[in-house]
Amino acid sequence: MADSFTSIDDLLAILKIDYLEAENPARIFSAMSNLIEAFTALDVLLLESIDPNISNKIVLKGLETGSIVSLLANILEHTDEEGIKNLDWKRIVGGYVNQARLVFLQYMQDNKGLSDKEHLEKLINKLFSLAKKTDIKVVPNYRAIPPSKLLGSMLQVKTALEVLNPNDTVTYSTNQMTVRFNPGFEITPESISALIIKETHESEQTMILKIKKPDYLGDSQWELKHDKNTIKAKMLDLVWVAKFHRREFDLGPGDALKVKVKVKVNYGFSGEVISSNYDIEKVLQIIRADGYSQQNLFNKSHINQIC
């Protein structure tokens, strides 16, 4: 695989799906659309490794029939070019994106699934080396892609392939090489967690959370705000939930809940937060956005009535 990123052909790529049966053709278009979305998400990670101010738009240059073939081009933009030292940076970075995609897909082709942390680190280091090789930054503050995000991209590619039949094949080609997608690559959210989580800490906290989106059906999570952060929480206080669904009280815009929460935080090998889970064990109080209602909440009998 060539190291140069300067050929104009490096800016183009071909995504191709070959199929033997035309039955349920919608699956082919669905897979193509989902793969392009997966590449878009992967490109964000690849570009952040160089500079978070660089963005990319994948442009569909053409379609061919028979097989479904998409000719893809990278349209790159930068919000602050003062930190860029190479005037030809778009061609260089466009070539890097296509070559990094090949390395990413080659890893999925060569492996049956997630094997161990060492193999993953080799992939991350290889992609990091490609990012540094672009050498477009005045200050060379390139960054490696976090393992959890890279594995998330693998899962997205794997999911995109699931609608295809066993006889369907997908390839990604540049002027350097062609890589065949591996639909048998084994990856699940559980296998990702097992690979990247070093330790887990649990705690119980009392928190006041602004209500963003309640769960009216009882089969999903509540969306809540803590300071400026949005969190999703499972509501385990079933007695309170039953009252809410019977409309024994209403929740309005800006209302908050004072709750007892079990917080589970998973940490990676570098001390980074991988994920956080929130389970609301008990609703202690509804705090109204309206000042008058908030004053009424100091009445203990009123609190007991609504909670």
Transcribe 233-269 into DSSP letters. EEE--HHHHHHHHTTSS---TT-EEEEEEEEEEEE-T
- DSSP bridge partners of 119: none
Average pLDDT over residues 198-224: 91
pLDDT band at residue 7 using 50, 70 and 90 as cut-offs? very low
Would you list the domain boundaries of the chain?
A: 8-194, 197-306
Q: What is the pLDDT of residues 106-122, one digit of tens each?
A: 999 999 988 778 889 99
Gap between the terminal Cα atoms of the chain: 64
Q: What is the pLDDT of residues 271-290, one digit of tens each?
A: 888 889 999 999 999 999 87
Average pLDDT over residues 250-260: 92
Both tokens assigned to 286: 């509804």
pLDDT number for residue 217 = 82
Residue (of 196, 182, 200, 186) closest to 116 by Cα position: 196
Share of the chain above pLDDT 70, in %: 87
Q: Which contacts (CB < 8 Å, 24+ apart) does range 74-80 have?
A: 74/11, 74/43, 74/98, 78/51, 78/53, 78/54, 79/53, 79/55, 80/53
Q: What is the pLDDT of residues 153-202, one digit of tens each?
A: 999 999 999 999 888 899 999 888 999 999 999 999 889 988 889 899 99
Domain topology for 197-306: OB fold (Dihydrolipoamide Acetyltransferase, E2P) (2.40.50)
Q: What is the pLDDT of residues 34-45, one digit of tens each?
A: 999 999 999 999
Average pLDDT over residues 40-59: 90
Both tokens assigned to 238: 């079933």
Higher pLDDT among residues 11 and 14, named by residue: 14
How far is the C-alpha of 261 from the C-alpha of 266, rounded, in Å?
16
Q: Mean pLDDT of all residues in the chain?
A: 85
Q: Is the pLDDT of residue 22 over 80?
A: no
Amino acid at 92: I
Burial of 101: CB neighbours in 10 Å, binned 0-12, 13-18, 19+: buried
Average pLDDT over residues 40-58: 91
DSSP state of 82: G
